[in-house]
Amino acid sequence: MIEVVILGNGRTAHFLISQFIACNQIKIKQWYMRQPKGDESQFLIETTTALTSVIKNADIYFICISDDAIASFSKSLTVSGLVVHTAGSIPLQILNDHQQKGVFYPLQTLSKNALPQIDRVPICIEAEKKDDFDLLTRLASLINAKYYSVDSTQRATLHLAAVFANNFSNHLYAISADLCKKNQLPFEILHPLIIETAQKLQTLPPQEAQTGPAIRNDHQTLKKHLKQLSTTPYMELYESLTQSIQKYHEEKL
């Protein structure tokens, strides 16, 4: 039995609880939160809002609070046991006040009301000591998660790569939706294409899947598109992305 304490009540906390609660080899001993949101009682877990009341001898403590607050929170947490944070862009060393420290970072976009299936949430694991690393991988295995060994430098890269793959591509969808709306077109026409483009990655690396006027260096279409965009705020971004594609695939042009 692995005994854990959850610290925080945001989306990551909810995600971990939903996974741990379903596994009879993991026991959530306690759940700390600064400010209850009112929906915590449904989980039938002992809760506390006093940091001083947090039990001292659990196996793992999961810090699931906002990135900026982790450093000072870690300092004020006086427990024995493995202390881990769950943040993509924060190095392991932020937990230096603790003997045993680690990272357990679920790489997925989490929303409280529609939690993703665990097989769609890769877990990035880091720890200083082998025993701690093994404990975290055992925990990941118990909830059937796919896990990767990712150190702090790699995790910072992964966080940045995720900004391109998730935040930035979502913005392109938003531009796409705006162009549709301004021309009385339902954006849903483009959903299948977007999903196909994303799923294709599983069989074809994106650099090989690249298509479109930029990589073909199709001047006529590029000119036409820029003209179409001239009354929108998206002309410069179209140019930046076109140039970036051409630079990336320079040898092909």
Residues 145-174 that bind a copy of itself (CB under 8 A): 148, 150, 153-154, 156-158, 160-174
Residues 188-227 that bind a copy of itself (CB under 8 A): 189-203, 205-207, 209-215, 221, 224-225
27, β-bridge pairs: 3
Q: CB 115 → a copy of itself: shortest distance, Å?
A: 11
C-beta of residue 2 within 8 angstroms of C-beta of residue 52 = no
Q: CB 68 → a copy of itself: shortest distance, Å?
A: 8
Encoded tokens for 95: 């937990």
Letter string b/e over residues 54-82, b meaning 16 or more CB atoms within 10 A of that residue's CB = beeebbbbbbbbeeeebeebbeebebebb
- What is the amino acid identity at position 241? L
Residues 91-110 that bind a copy of itself (CB under 8 A): 107-109
Tally of CB atoms within 10 A around 201 = 11
- Contact segment (CB under 8 A) with a copy of itself among 18-26, 52-60, 96-104, 177-185 equals 177-185
- Binding residue (CB under 8 A) for a copy of itself from 76, 184, 230, 231: 184
- Contact segment (CB under 8 A) with a copy of itself among 21-29, 40-48, 72-80, 117-125 equals 117-125
What does the alpha-carbon distance between residue 84 and residue 63 come to, in Å, rounded to a whole number?
A: 6
Residue 44 interacts with a copy of itself (CB under 8 A)?
no
Residues 9-38 that bind a copy of itself (CB under 8 A): none
SS3 assignment, position 205: coil
Q: CB 157 → a copy of itself: shortest distance, Å?
A: 4
**Closest by CA position to 139, among listed 12, 8, 16:** 16
Residue placing its CB nearer to a copy of itself in the complex, 39 or 68: 68
C-beta of residue 90 within 8 angstroms of C-beta of residue 65 = no
| Per-residue binding letters, 56-95, with a copy of itself (x by CB under 8 A) | ---------------------------------x------
Beta-sheet strands, E only, within 112-187 = 123-127, 147-149
Compute how many residues bind a copy of itself; rule: CB under 8 A: 85
**Closest by CA position to 152, among listed 100, 211, 247, 88:** 88
Q: CB 78 → a copy of itself: shortest distance, Å?
A: 27
Residue placing its CB nearer to a copy of itself in the complex, 52 or 199: 199
